[in-house]
Amino acid sequence: MANKIYKKYRKGAWKSARERLHGFWAIFEKEDTVLICINADPDALACALAIKRLLRYRVKQVLIAHPNEIRRLNNVAMVERLKIPLERLGNVKVQEFSKKVIVDSQPTHLPVFEKIDFDAIIDHHPIVNGGYSASFVDIRPEYGSCSTMLVEYLRAANMKPSVAMATALFYAIKVDTQDFSQRALLADGISFRYLFNIANRNLVKKFELADMRRSELKYFNIALQNLKYSKARLYTHVGRVRSPDILVNIADFLNHVDKIDWVFVSGIHGERLVVIFRCDGYRKSAGKLAERIFGALGSAGGHKESARAEVPLKKLSLGDKEFTTNTLKRLATRHMK
Question: Mind listing the pLDDT tens digit for each residue in 226-240?
Answer: 999 999 999 999 999
Pairing type for strands 233-240 and 228-230 reads: antiparallel
Locate the DSSP E strands across 140-284.
Answer: 228-230, 233-240, 262-269, 272-279
Give me the pLDDT at residue 11, please.
Answer: 40
Give me the pLDDT at residue 2, please.
Answer: 41
pLDDT surpasses 70 at 287 = yes
Q: Rounded CA gap, 152 and 155, in Å?
A: 5
Give me the pLDDT at residue 336, please.
Answer: 81
- Name the percent of the chain lying above pLDDT 90: 75
Give me the pLDDT at residue 212, please.
Answer: 79
pLDDT surpasses 80 at 10 = no
Q: Tell me the pLDDT band of 154, cut-offs 50, 70 and 90.
A: very high
The string of pLDDT tens digits covering residues 38-90 is 999 999 999 999 999 999 999 999 999 999 889 888 999 999 999 999 999 99
What's the whole-number mean pLDDT along residues 108-114? 90
3-state secondary structure of 89: helix
Order of strands across the sheet that contains 306-312: 228-230, 233-240, 262-269, 272-279, 306-312, 299-302
3-state secondary structure of 168: helix
CATH number of 2-209: 3.90.1640.10
- For the chain, the structural domain boundaries read 2-209, 216-335
**Burial label, 183 (beta-carbon count in 10 A; 0-12, 13-18, 19+):** buried
Q: Tell me the pLDDT band of 124, cut-offs 50, 70 and 90.
A: very high
Residue 238 has φ and ψ, to the nearest 5°, of -95, -15
Which of the listed CATH numbers 3.40.50.170, 3.10.310.40, 2.70.70.10, 3.40.50.300 matches domain 216-335? 3.10.310.40
Q: Rounded CA gap, 33 and 63, in Å?
A: 8
**Average pLDDT taken over every residue of the chain:** 91
| 237 strand-pairing partners | 266
Question: Of the candidates 270, 264, 326, 333, which has an alpha carbon nearest to the alpha carbon of residue 300?
Answer: 264
Structure pTM? 0.71
The string of pLDDT tens digits covering residues 181-225 is 888 999 999 999 999 999 999 999 999 887 778 888 999 999 999
Q: Tell me the pLDDT band of 3, cut-offs 50, 70 and 90.
A: very low
The string of pLDDT tens digits covering residues 80-109 is 999 999 999 999 999 999 999 999 999 988
For residue 94, the 8-state DSSP code is: G
